[in-house]
Chain A
Amino acid sequence: MPKITTSRVIIGIIVILGLWAWSGYNGLVKTDEAVKSQWANVEAVYQRRFDLIPNAVATVKGAAQQDLEVFGKIAEARTRYAGARTTDERAAAAGEIESAFARLLVIVENYPNLKSQESFQALIAELEGTENRISVERRRYNGAVQMYNVGIRRFPRNILARVFGFARHNLFEAAVGAETTPQVDFTK
């Protein structure tokens, strides 16, 4: 058994710390990348909804001549989404598209003959599908973010996180007023 000198002990400790930092850092990278990749999924379904908007507008506009201002709001929200750069900006812009859509659906209630059109029913099926996808991917995103956030806060990894600059990610939270989304039932 080699002599246990002080210098050897110190070297041993440094090696152990190094190994720990190495695996700890890689662990943080892994969860961070999982968050980013899941965000890409969220953006993909946001894009899907974004692409649906012109179709939605076209389908409804023909019938809803009196309520043209809602289309203006939708166009605004769409432009803002296209211009958003950071993750938080995109999330906020997506929220605006949601409220604009909600308003659109309320308007449609005033036009019963629109509801029976096949093109409109197809549109609603697409919208429901897209909204469901958004909710699934957001839920998964929140899961990934939660795992990451817990990871950077736990001791002793939080020291590593601070050293290497791993910051918290934000969860998706329900937009204010989301509890009061208009209840529209198109099957009636």
Chain B
Amino acid sequence: MVTNKLVSIIVALILFLPLLVFAYASPGKSVGLVSDFAGLLSSQTRGGLEQTLRAYEQKTGRQIAVATINELGDETVETYAVRLFQEWGIGQKGKDNGALFLISKNDRRMRIEVGYGLEGELTDIESKKIIDNVAAPYFKNNDFDTGISAGVSAMLSAIDSQNYEAVGSSNQSKQGRGLNWEYIFWIGAGIFMWLTAILARSRSWWLGGVIGGAAGVVIWLVWALWFSAPILIVLGLFFDYIVSRKYQRASASGSISNLWWIGGGPHRWDKGSGWGGFGGGSSGGGGASGRW
């Protein structure tokens, strides 16, 4: 009935109204340690900064982020920075060793928001000095590349002037975990390809079931998932069946190569720049703001 549908649409709109009232407009997900939504940085500077900051994260576990936005909207730079910091969760959870350098282009305001765990190293006074003495002069001349780079270097040296705990901790950030999973994934992909080659060439399709059963038993023993054995047996049988069928069809048409089971066009495996997000740290309003 038309009226019922209309009513439910209206109700849905009303329920969403509170969301519209929130003044904080998130710029979206982070794209790396450097998220240049306002396009203030040249691509070289952005790439260089991203590299430097990732290397720093690998070494110390701290996540120093840079974000540029077009405007703050109804928020002040202080409230915006702390909300963005919370939304992205900069720094490792529990350690809260993150910092955010936020620049708002149209408002001509910036803020260094420091996570709870870095407040001792990157103090409010230090942040204020970096903003007023290092970054602002360059920003006044519209030189954001140098200004932001210099600001970041100053932040890093302020933090490093104290001692930091070395590596080991870096594996906790999502970025670090991303690397581990990549490694596992590549090994898994290799095994997968090897398996498909064997299973396809076998005439029968019970071998897949055997392998599935073996894998299932292993998973059962290691992770106590008793149901993995039957599930994997079934999957193995199914997979072998499909793969054998495709192989037979492909060999009939005469087009076999090593990667015959990949249909369609070329596939690109994205190896490099995986960005898994920040580590879930938080901040409490420490740092400093300024304008130019």
- Chain A interface (Cβ < 8 Å from any Cβ of B): 41, 45, 121-122, 125-126, 128-130, 132-137, 187
Contacts and interface: CB of A to CB of B under 8 A. Distances in A.
A132 B285 contact: yes
A125 B128 CA distance: 6
A128 B286 contact: no
Contacts of A129: 123-124, 127, 285-288
B125 A125 contact: yes
A121 B126 CA distance: 11
Contacts of B53: none
Given A122-B125, A125-B124, A126-B124, A133 B285 contact: yes
Interface in B59-101: 78, 82
Contacts of A135: 78, 285
Contacts, number: 42
Contacts of B286: 129, 132-133
A132 B125 contact: no
Contacts of A187: 290-291
Nearest to A134: B285
Given A45-B284, A125-B288, A137-B284, A132 B78 contact: yes
Contacts of B287: 129, 132
B284 A128 contact: no
A129 B125 CA distance: 9
Contact of B284 (A121, A122, A125, A133): A133
* Residue of B128, B285, B288, B289 with most partner-chain A CB within 10 A: B285
Contacts of A45: 284-285
Interface of B: 78, 82, 123-125, 127-129, 284-291
Given A125-B127, A128-B288, 14 more contacts: A45-B284, A122-B125, A125-B288, A126-B125, A128-B128, A128-B289, A129-B124, A129-B285, A129-B288, A132-B286, A133-B285, A136-B284, A137-B284, A187-B290
Nearest to A132: B285
Given A132-B78, A136-B82, A41 B128 contact: no
Contacts of A126: 124-125
B183 to A, nearest CB: 39
- Please list the 3 inter-chain residue pairs (A to B) with the smallest Cβ-Cβ separation, ordered nearest first: A129-B124, A136-B285, A125-B128
A41 B284 CA distance: 9
Contacts of B289: 128
A126 B124 CA distance: 6
A137 B86 CA distance: 13
Nearest to A123: B125
26 contacts: A41-B284, A45-B285, A121-B128, A122-B125, A125-B124, A125-B125, A125-B128, A125-B129, A125-B288, A126-B124, A126-B125, A128-B124, A128-B288, A128-B289, A129-B123, A129-B124, A129-B287, A129-B288, A132-B285, A132-B286, A132-B287, A133-B284, A135-B78, A135-B285, A136-B284, A187-B291
Nearest to A129: B124
Nearest to A137: B284
A23 B103 CA distance: 46
A148 B289 CA distance: 33
Contacts of A132: 78, 285-287
A145 to B, nearest CB: 18
B154 to A, nearest CB: 15
A59 B128 CA distance: 18
Contacts of A134: 285
A69 B287 CA distance: 32
A118 B287 CA distance: 18
* Residue of A125, A128, A135 with most partner-chain B CB within 10 A: A125
* Residue of A121, A134, A136 with most partner-chain B CB within 10 A: A136
A122 B127 CA distance: 11
* Residue of A122, A129, A135, A137 with most partner-chain B CB within 10 A: A129
A132 B76 CA distance: 11
A180 to B, nearest CB: 18
Contacts of A137: 284-285
